Amino acid sequence: MTTTLPDETTLLDDDTARLRAAAGFVREHDSAALLPLLLPGLGGPDLRALAGHCRFAHAGLLLFPPDADALRAQLADCGLAPDTPSHPSVVVRERLARRHRRDPAELDVRILRPQVHGCAGERRAVEVFALTVPPHSGLERIAAYERTRRHEAHLAFEIEHSDPLALRGLCAILVRHGARPDGGGYNPHEDGTVLYFTTPADPACGYRRLELYARGDHRAALAAHLDHPVSSARPPAETLLQLLTGAWTTQAFAVFARLGLPDAMDTRTAHSAEDLALLTGAHPRGLATLLRYLAMLGAVTPAPDQEEGFRLTELGALLRADAPGSMRPLALMYGGPFYRSFGELDHAVRTGGPAFDHLFGENHFDHFARDPELADLFDRSMAASSRMFQPLPEHPVVTAAAAAPGPRTVVDVAGGNGELLGRILTAHPRLRGILLERPHAVEAARRLLDAAGCGARCDYRAGDFADVPPGGDVYVLSRVLHDWDDDRCREILRHLAAAMPAHADLLIVERLLPADGSPSLATAWDLHMLCNVGGRERRADHYARLLADAGLQLVGHSPLPLDAHVLHARRASVPDPAARHS
């Protein structure tokens, strides 16, 4: 029995109709409206986080023209620019080759993005994948199958700021709401990384696939995406073997940073391993071996026209000493003292006591305080995650204080080197600040805030939690409570409650363990806190109980970058001003 395929004209008409429908869809929708259609139940902080970081960029579909002229005619028929430039589509070509067990070289897949404008004039596109199917080429069966299944039809959201950690956080939100990782890839022709997801069954908008697009080379995030348990097709033993090499990854990044390689390399120009060895004093063969491994991790990328040549990627550039928000101190800390303490994780799990104390004979705060270099590295490693603070100056509590008549004061308790307080004071010139910290950290904060131009509006107090200054308007407690057990947290919060006037607000920055067990950086940090300080990450309801025990009330919480949250608390029984005006 044979199957008769429709004639070529009918198929081209069908492709044109699908292209016209996709262009109309792109014109009519936006991010905030589309995301809940793709992920039923998405709302609140998660919707705001996704819609705030991602913009609806295009609808994608796969067409099957017999040649380039036919494709141009289809574009023109749909009111799209027929002369739109094209380039090879690496990701879709490889997906098709795997699905149909064909050699990728047989599949001429091009990608075009003819422009379309949204309702408010936003620049968007229809992403057209075009698999050329000449008559009698033997590819007609592939086209027939793909037209029916619509595997490549998707809606794409472009990440506004391609931060590797933010990218992973956005992926975690999607998975939490039912999206399933479904492949992806890095396209060197346009230097962009694509992560695909399948959405829950029968979404209201008719599309089953969602794409996150990030400019640049994000192959580390891509590797985590492809290795997600839902999408991994590798044998369990192979997956476990890769996971067991995680310690190698930590040390590879630490050595990369320690040698100063990111500072010696460039994101545009390739350098040979031999030249880099001369610059850093490393062994040429040993360095080449390290660079090949780092290329697999996405920190560098091989130069196609230069043997043993490598250039830096955007991910690797985060380890430059002079990069804004440099993560170099984190690499040195996680590959240094904390790496050594994780070697004693067995002790922490068996006894519940910190492995760091067991290894070094004292808690990590005292240990670092006795070593100025380590203390400075720790403070800089905390500041390296300062991108989580980016939205805080615009928190309603802070903006209300800045707009109020008369002077208002923000008190940063255990404020480290002043990074967060500096951001708030810089954004709001009418606010004053008080920073409470250990003596050596106070001096570091004074230097940073003076350099930021807001030191004249800040007072400094050297002391402990018992010394919380009274009379402030907004109190900030950032990444402190997770260092301690519940009893110590209650004690800290009681000191704050005693110092806070009746009208004052408290903002607490922490990572929250997800209530549903979904993937989160908080789960990893929970193990880190157990091992190194004896603390823990907590769920929001856990923090609410601790606050209540101290006479405080959790008003609400909202997401921050790097899987963090800001919890808003007030004195118990004091009404929230925002609620009175809602």
List residues with catalytic annotation: 482
Structure token pair of residue 149: 């299944």
* Cβ–Cβ under 8 Å, residues 518 and 176: yes
Q: Which residue reads 């994608």 in tokens?
A: 60
DSSP code at position 503: T
DSSP code at position 320: -
* Cβ–Cβ under 8 Å, residues 286 and 276: no
Residue by residue, DSSP assigns 41-54 as: T--HHHHHHHHHHE
Q: Which of 564, 548, 565 is nearest to 556 (CA)?
A: 565
Q: Which of 426, 530, 409 is nearest to 461 (CA)?
A: 409
User: Which pairing describes strands 123-131 and 54-63: parallel, antiparallel, or unpaired?
Assistant: parallel
Q: First vs last Cα of the chain: how many Å apart?
A: 69
d(CA 407, CA 430): 7
Widest Cα–Cα separation across the chain? 87
Residue 510's Cβ-side half-sphere holds a number of Cα atoms within 13 Å equal to 28
Q: Name the CA dihedral angle for 237, 529, 374, 434, rounded to a multiple of 10 degrees.
A: 140
The one-letter code for the residue type at 44 is G
* Cβ–Cβ under 8 Å, residues 500 and 475: yes
Structure token pair of residue 12: 């081209």
Residue 85's Cβ-count burial label (10 Å; 0-12, 13-18, 19+) is: exposed
d(CA 330, CA 336): 9
Coil vs helix vs strand at 436? strand
d(CA 353, CA 533): 8
Query: At CA 520, angle to CA 517 and CA 524, rounded to 5?
Result: 100
Residue by residue, DSSP assigns 84-131 as: --EEE-HHHHHHHHHHHT--GGG--EEEE--EEE-TT--EEEEEEEEE
b or e along 338-368 (b: 16 or more beta carbons within 10 Å of the residue's beta carbon)?
Answer: beebbebeebbeeeeebbbbebbeebbeebb
- Phi, psi for 251 (deg, rounded to 5): -70, -35
Number of CB atoms found within 10 A of residue 99's CB: 13
The one-letter code for the residue type at 323 is A
- Phi, psi for 455 (deg, rounded to 5): -60, -30
Residue 446's Cβ-count burial label (10 Å; 0-12, 13-18, 19+) is: middle
